[in-house]
């Protein structure tokens, strides 16, 4: 029997206007935005629907905004009787959306936590001190060796292992620059600096990780109703007691997205639904395996199309 996975995007998927169509068309989605505004004490919904791209790109805003749009899309799907997933997974921040979908934590706890997570991650490294870069067309082993050589006593390491041909590195800005030059010499198709506000998923994030751990310690996580494939281990988990550790370690450890998708496919997942803004994860899944089906839900139209496509799902 083929299986279904819901996957949830992370930072980079944001766009002004996201979620407005869901808000207008689904009462369950509207309620999510209202709950987010109440939990955060400001109009996150207005920032999503008609704010500035600059404000939305601030990490402390981006993280709760993407989470809220994902859960608004999820609630719309539930209201339209989408089939339940066999697995869930999320890319970095998206892991929180996946945990809400699996009933491991409340949406209110999640949106407040990722707001603080974004603040902590931004504050961990002074602006300009760190950097991230996308490396295309080289295997992980080559990237790891070049990062180690480029570090020269600083931090430089893989941060997002997104697909066999796309790896993002992070660390001190000078070390990342050195790694870019080494990787270009070693055959990278592209090695380009990313326009990000902090070097996520590397050891420079330890101060943020410590602060987040204190917040996570206050939250009661429940056992999951669907297994989640974790970013840190790329392995399945259903235990609430494990979630705190995974979310804490995730701040400074690489996102093992390629392995996550491969493990889902090994579990006979043949259909992936990207829940929330954009189609970035769908593109990565296709880079990993072109034989699986990728759908997405970010507005009423894509919801209708995906539901229709699922009607032909083989079981």
201 labelled catalytic? yes
313 contacts 2 by C-beta, under 8 angstroms: yes
Structural domains of the chain in order of their starting residue, each with its CATH number: 3-124+204-310 (3.40.366.10), 130-196 (3.30.70.250)
Handedness of CA 11, 17, 20, 21 (dihedral sign): negative
Rounded-to-integer distance, Cα 94 and Cα 235, Å: 16
Please name which of 69, 126, 118 lies closest in space to residue 92, comparing C-alpha atoms: 118
Please name which of 95, 102, 91, 87 lies closest in space to residue 268, comparing C-alpha atoms: 87
Handedness of CA 64, 67, 71, 72 (dihedral sign): positive
What is the largest distance, in Å, between two alpha-carbon atoms of the chain?
55
pLDDT tens for the chain, residues 1 to 315: 689 999 999 998 999 999 999 999 999 999 999 999 999 999 999 999 999 999 998 899 999 999 999 999 999 999 999 999 999 999 999 999 999 999 999 999 999 999 999 999 999 998 889 999 999 999 999 999 999 999 999 999 999 999 999 999 999 999 999 999 999 999 999 999 998 888 999 999 999 999 999 999 999 999 999 999 999 999 999 999 999 999 999 999 999 999 999 999 999 999 999 999 999 999 999 999 999 999 999 999 999 999 999 875 443
236-237 sheet: strands from edge to edge: 236-237, 228-229, 87-90, 3-8, 269-275, 293-297
92 labelled catalytic? yes
Catalytic residue among 13, 91, 157, 201: 201
Catalytic residue among 29, 45, 92, 252: 92
Please name which of 202, 172, 47 lies closest in space to residue 115, comparing C-alpha atoms: 47
Stated pTM of the model: 0.95
């Amino acid at each position: 029997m083929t299986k279904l996975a819901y996957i949830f995007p992370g930072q980079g998927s944001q766009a002004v206007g996201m979620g407005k169509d869901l808000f207008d068309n689904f009462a369950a989605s509207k309620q999510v935005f209202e709950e987010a505004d109440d939990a955060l004490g400001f109009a996150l919904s207005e920032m999503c629907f008609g704010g500035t791209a600059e404000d939305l790109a601030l990490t402390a805003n981006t993280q709760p905004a993407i989470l809220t749009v994902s859960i608004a899309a999820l609630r719309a799907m539930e209201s339209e009787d989408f089939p339940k997933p066999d697995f869930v997974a999320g890319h970095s921040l998206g892991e929180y959306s996946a945990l809400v979908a699996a009933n491991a934590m409340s949406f209110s706890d999640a949106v407040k936590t990722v707001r603080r997570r974004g603040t902590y991650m931004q504050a961990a490294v002074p602006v300009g001190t760190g950097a991230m870069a996308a490396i295309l067309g080289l295997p992980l082993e080559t990237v790891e060796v070049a990062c180690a050589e480029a570090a020269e006593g600083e931090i430089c390491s893989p941060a997002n292992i997104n697909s066999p041909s796309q790896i993002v590195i992070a660390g001190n800005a000078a070390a990342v620059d050195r790694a870019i030059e080494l990787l270009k010499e070693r055959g990278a198709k592209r090695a380009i600096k990313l326009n990000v506000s902090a070097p996520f998923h590397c050891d420079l994030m330890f101060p943020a990780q410590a602060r987040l751990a204190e917040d996570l310690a206050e939250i009661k996580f429940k056992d999951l109703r669907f297994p989640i494939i974790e970013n840190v281990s790329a392995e399945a988990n259903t235990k609430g007691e494990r979630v705190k550790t995974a979310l804490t370690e995730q701040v400074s450890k690489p996102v093992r997205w390629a392995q996550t998708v491969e493990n889902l496919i090994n579990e006979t997942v043949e259909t992936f639904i990207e829940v929330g803004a954009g189609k970035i994860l769908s593109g990565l899944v296709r880079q990993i395996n072109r034989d699986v089906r990728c759908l997405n839900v970010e507005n009423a139209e894509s919801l209708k199309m995906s539901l229709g496509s699922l009607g032909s799902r083989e079981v």
